[in-house]
Amino acid sequence: MPKDIRYLKGVGEKRAELFNKKGIKTVEDLLYYFPRSHEDRSEMKEIADCVEGETVCISVTVFSPVKDVRVRRNLLVSTMVVCDQTGALNVVWYNNRYVKGQFMTGDEYILYGKITRNRGKMEMINPVFEKKGKERFTGKIVPLYPLTEGLTQKILQSSMELAIKEAGRLDEYIPADIREKYHIAELNYAMKNIHFPEDFDSYNIARERFVFEELLILQLALSGRKDENTVRDGVVFDDILCVRDFVETLPFPLTGAQKRTLNEILKDCKSGKMMNRLVQGDVGSGKTAVAAAAIYTAVKNGHQAAMMAPTEILATQHMETLNEFFKGMDINVVMLTGSMKVKEKRLAYDMISTGAADVIVGTHAIIQQTVEFYDLALVVADEQHRFGVEQRAKLASKGNNPHMLIMSATPIPRTLALILYGDLDISVIDELPPGRKPVKTYAVGENMRKRIFAFLEKNVKAGMQAYVVCPLIEETEKSDLQNAEMLAEKLQTIFPDFKIGLMHGKMKAKLKEQVMDEFVRGEIKILVSTTVIEVGVNVPNANIMVIENAERFGLSQLHQLRGRVGRGGEQAFCILFAHGSNEVTKKRMETMCISNDGFYISEQDLKLRGPGDFFGTRQHGLPEMKIANLFEDRDILAVSQMAAKEIMEEDPQLSSEKYKGLKRRADKIINEDIVMN
């Protein structure tokens, strides 16, 4: 089959450029450009049976040819009369100068269009038409594709029909035994019926095949990467029981989930294989205590450990937390960030390379070339989506394949986590320490603003602090969203006695750090911010979170933001100003008010919004799904996971002839799509 889309009949150079914009470079790419829906044009009706408002297919004879009437300068109306044995019908086109002269009296046509009524008479508006006997896209189920400028449905439908014909018999690459075991349709049958199905049952069978295929290939690609990681030898921690000494010094007992996670980590560290583990836990579930226990074990086994955070403020907080945990234990914690003075950096480099530093806490400055570790055996990275595969690889090269522990406070449904983090083992801390009060959440309308501001004032006067979060930074003409700059000014007028801070993504990092620092120290009483405050900073004094235009945020994002308050002992509150009364908005706000469980919330988020918007899957480097929906297709996902596991057990490298087609596709995903930044 011709490789390049240019050589498909009717495409050529110019049109090929339009196809390329949609990522279609070859005929195979085109075949995998799936329809967004189908139109059922298979049922034929007679004119007398047509009902106003329905879209129908009719077989007619031209009674009078097309007449053009220019109603005004920019409106041309073309009409003709058609009939069948049951009656006559007016056909109308607007601004279509090409139809005049196309129809001759007595010619027979199939028309497909919407029936309307005008001055008591039935009309069909702007129909699709084909000469009887030469039908291609009427009288059957027809695909509708996502379009781009210059590519019409007709062009795509015609090109697809030709592509299927020219491609001939496609080579099946899912082995027969797997297809049989999991009841998956054969490729050629599926390809024809995904585009031009005989009926909707055939379409569903075809769709299931391609969903299974897409999820299977993605998992094989990720398993391949996981495999590369797990074959590496890791540092062996001989004495893991020493962790008990650390746990006994904690001022609180570990929860069951913390103990289970810690056991999984230490088992990995003793196994002789390099650990790649993700610890998922809701805000406040105690991930840091578990990380500290792992760091303690590394140091007591004679090695160094490093802890990385995405920002300097967060790194400073980790440093303080670890020093608190390791008080009186003879463990030397050293800080390394980009903004440190040259002299301070030199001293840090020296301590790290000689082994005087047991634990190194810092930002990505840790992975710069100038940093040489004495004996790095464990790396804890905060918030996985800020540290991708590349950074992890850089870290791995710093020591002798140090164990990697990644902590994420973004609860993700397990089904999605297995795909997003397919190259990691996953531990979940799914219970909160006793005594932590859930944040009370209320969804309110504009009519409650005065009361909310009074509530805010009362709390700040009592010594508390508050966040106010907006979706936009500055005013745009098209938007009525609350924006951070204007709101900060407004609040400063309403609360002249309090210092109001402002923080947004367009500010320079140094200024952001300064503002956050003033908030942490309690100088700023109310911090107006865009979502840059999402990640991690601990301000125990902040107990109110007000979120403007809450309907614009994903549920998981709202939950993350809410987790910024209630870090101290006081009761915390989250106020959601939500506009819009559609059902989805209501349901989402309701979910936030009734639940503080991040995993439940993320399930609902996935259900209501689909994975595309779920914290922007792109930032996780996940390729765009062509056909699968990770929520609706959970059953197929489960089946494809079983199949992927089976294949990897049989042939981890996919090196046999049997799996060469799957390997080619899995390699393509790794090379092109999964950037995992």
Q: What is the DSSP letter of 557?
A: H
**588, 609 Cβ separation under 8 angstroms:** no
Using alpha carbons only, how large is the chain's radius of gyration in Å? 31
Task: Give CA–CA dist 124/74, Å, rounded.
Answer: 21
- Confirm if 563 and 283 have CB atoms less than 8 A apart: yes
User: How many percent of the chain have pLDDT more than 70?
Assistant: 89
pLDDT (tens digit, 9 = 90+) per residue, 76-125? Answer: 999 999 999 999 999 999 988 888 888 989 999 999 999 999 888 889 99
The three-class DSSP label of residue 280 is strand
State CA 269 to chain mean position distance: 31
Q: Tell whether the model's pLDDT for residue 393 goes beyond 80.
A: no
Rounded to whole angstroms, how far apart are CA atoms 379 and 390? 14
In a domain, 238, yes or no: no
Residue 641 counted as domain residue: no
Per-residue pLDDT band for 389 (boundaries 50, 70, 90) equals low
Q: Where are the beta strands (DSSP E) in 363-431?
A: 376-382, 403-408, 425-429
**What is the mean pLDDT of the segment spanning 267-286?**
88
Residues 333 and 373 in one domain: yes
pLDDT given at position 85:
93
Question: Can you count the helices (H) and strands (E) in the chain?
Answer: 21, 21
Q: What is residue 610's DSSP assignment?
A: -
The answer, yes or no, to whether residue 35 has pLDDT greater than 70, is yes
Per-residue pLDDT, 614: 46
The domain total for the chain is 5
Of 196-205, 210-219, 596-605, 613-622, the least confident: 613-622
The pair of structure tokens assigned to 224 is 């391949």
The answer to whether residue 676 scores a pLDDT higher than 50 is: no
Higher-confidence residue of 232 and 502: namely 502
In a shared domain, residues 607 and 500: yes
Query: Is 631 domain-assigned?
Result: no
Report the residue count for the chain: 677
Lowest-confidence pick of 50-64, 398-412, 526-540, 591-605: 526-540
Greater confidence (46 vs 630) lies with 46
pLDDT(435) > 80: no
Answer for the pair 383, 358: CB distance below 8 angstroms, yes or no.
no
Q: What residues pair up with 68 in beta bridges, in sequence order?
A: 78
Whether pLDDT at 204 is above 90: yes
Averaged pLDDT of the chain: 86
| 3-state class (DSSP) for residue 98 | coil
Final residue of a domain: which of 400, 429, 458? 429
Q: Please write the tens of the pLDDT for every residue from 124-170.
A: 999 999 999 888 888 899 999 988 888 889 899 999 999 999 888 99
Per-residue confidence at 227, pLDDT binned at 50, 70, 90? low
CATH number reported for the structural domain that contains residue 303 in this entry: 3.40.50.300
DSSP three-state, residue 275: coil
Q: Specify if 301 maps to a domain.
A: yes
In a domain, 542, yes or no: yes
Closest CA to 136 of 104, 110, 103: 110
Six token digits for residue 600: 């439940």
Looking at residue 618, what is its pLDDT? Answer: 39
* Confidence band of 609 (pLDDT split at 50, 70, 90): low
CATH number at residue 59: 2.40.50.140
Q: Residues with Cβ < 8 Å from 28, sequence gap 6 or more? A: 1, 167
Most confident of 50-59, 280-289, 434-443, 600-609: 50-59
In a domain, 125, yes or no: yes
Tell me: do 545 and 612 sit in the same domain.
yes
Question: What digits encode the pLDDT tens for the residues 292-351?
Answer: 999 999 999 999 999 988 878 888 889 999 999 999 999 999 999 888 899 999 999 999
Model confidence at 437, pLDDT cuts 50, 70, 90, reads: confident
Nearest 5°: phi and psi at 489? -60, -45
| Distance, CA of 564 to CA of 466 (rounded, Å) | 10
CB 106, CB 62: distance < 8 Å: yes
pLDDT of residue 98: 85
Residue 197 domain-assigned (yes or no): yes
The pLDDT tens digits for 555-584 are: 888 888 888 888 777 899 999 998 877 787
- Is residue 501 a contact partner of residue 560, using CB atoms and an 8 Å limit? no
Indicate whether 304 and 225 sit together in one domain: no
Are 612 and 511 in the same domain?
A: yes
Q: Are residues 274 and 422 in the same domain?
A: yes
Strand pairing category for 359-362 and 304-308: parallel
Does 438 or 359 have the greater pLDDT score? 359
Q: Supply 280's token pair.
A: 């998922």
Residue 39 or residue 314, greater confidence: 39
On whether the CB atoms of residues 267 and 236 are closer than 8 A, the answer is: no
> What is the layout of strands, in order, in the sheet containing 542-547?
440-444, 573-577, 542-547, 465-469, 526-529, 500-503
* Cα–Cα distance, 170 to 177 (Å, whole number): 18
Same domain, 293 and 421: yes
Cβ(61)–Cβ(89) under 8 Å? no
**270 and 403 part of one domain:** yes
pLDDT in the model for residue 603: 79
Give the pLDDT score at 307: 93
pLDDT digits (tens, 9 = 90+) for 42-52: 888 999 999 99
Query: Is the pLDDT at 449 greater than 60, yes or no?
Result: yes
As given in the structure block, the two tokens for residue 264 are 């999984």
pLDDT tier for residue 477 given thresholds of 50, 70 and 90: very low
Q: Name residue, tokens 């002839």.
A: 657
Q: What is the C-alpha to C-alpha distance for residues 217 and 178, in angstroms, rounded to an integer?
A: 13
Neighbours of 36 (CB within 10 A): 9
493 and 403: one domain? no
Is the predicted pLDDT of residue 22 greater than 80, yes or no?
A: yes
Which of 319, 279, 317, 309 minimizes the C-alpha distance to 382?
A: 309
Region 188-210 average pLDDT: 95
Is 640 a domain residue? no
How many Å apart are CA 303 and CA 32, to the nearest integer?
A: 51
Residues facing 37 on adjacent strands: 144
The pLDDT of residue 612 is 47
Asked whether residue 213 falls in the same domain as residue 93, the answer is no
Q: Are residues 364 and 457 in the same domain?
A: no
**212 or 621, which is more confident:** 212
Contact between 280 and 405 (Cβ < 8 Å): no
pLDDT exceeds 70 at position 610 = no
- What was the pLDDT predicted at 368? 82
Q: For 609, which DSSP code?
A: H
* Tokens representing residue 91 in the block: 């056909």
Same domain flag for 338 and 290: yes
The whole domain housing 200 covers 170-231+653-677
Across 522-529, average pLDDT = 93
Phi, psi torsion values for 240, nearest 5 degrees: -100, -10
Reported as a pLDDT band with limits 50, 70 and 90, residue 475 is: low
